[in-house]
Amino acid sequence: MSGDYAAVEPKRTEVDALEGPTLLEFGSPWCGWCRRAQPLIAEAIAQHPRVRHIKIADASGKRLGRSFGVKLWPTLVFLRDGKETAKLVRPDDSDEIKEALARIDI
């Protein structure tokens, strides 16, 4: 799991074309909610090494976050072959993250 949020976001067409399981994490390094969620996300994703984890620095005006309906941070979007299967906003429990990961990591 990367500790840094990517400043340059991928294009939606690139995300839609991703094969396999992917977790998109929208947030910001200065966001308290995001920092608090990091251990929960790390614990959950450690059990799913096949899942691609992409951390994206989000802000108003960023197109990728808006295309997924991101309004609060962190927002976790779970994709299977580029298709959204689940979304969690401000998760406060690693179990809900693990459940969503299990649905994409088949």
In a domain, 50, yes or no: yes
**H-helix segments, 21-78:** 32-45, 63-67
Q: Which DSSP symbol is given to 46?
A: T
> How many structural domains is the chain composed of?
1
CATH code for the domain of 20 = 3.40.30.10
In a domain, 100, yes or no: yes
Residues paired with 50 in a beta bridge? none
> In terms of residue numbers, what domain contains 71?
12-104
Position 3 scores a pLDDT of 65
What confidence tens digit (pLDDT) does each residue in 12-29 have?
999 999 999 999 999 999
Nearest to 45 by CA among 75, 64, 22, 19: 22
Position 29 scores a pLDDT of 93
In a domain, 6, yes or no: no
Residues paired with 24 in a beta bridge? 54, 77
In a domain, 84, yes or no: yes
What confidence tens digit (pLDDT) does each residue in 28-84 have?
999 999 999 999 999 999 999 999 999 999 998 899 999 999 999 999 999 999 999
Position 78 scores a pLDDT of 98
Position 106 scores a pLDDT of 86
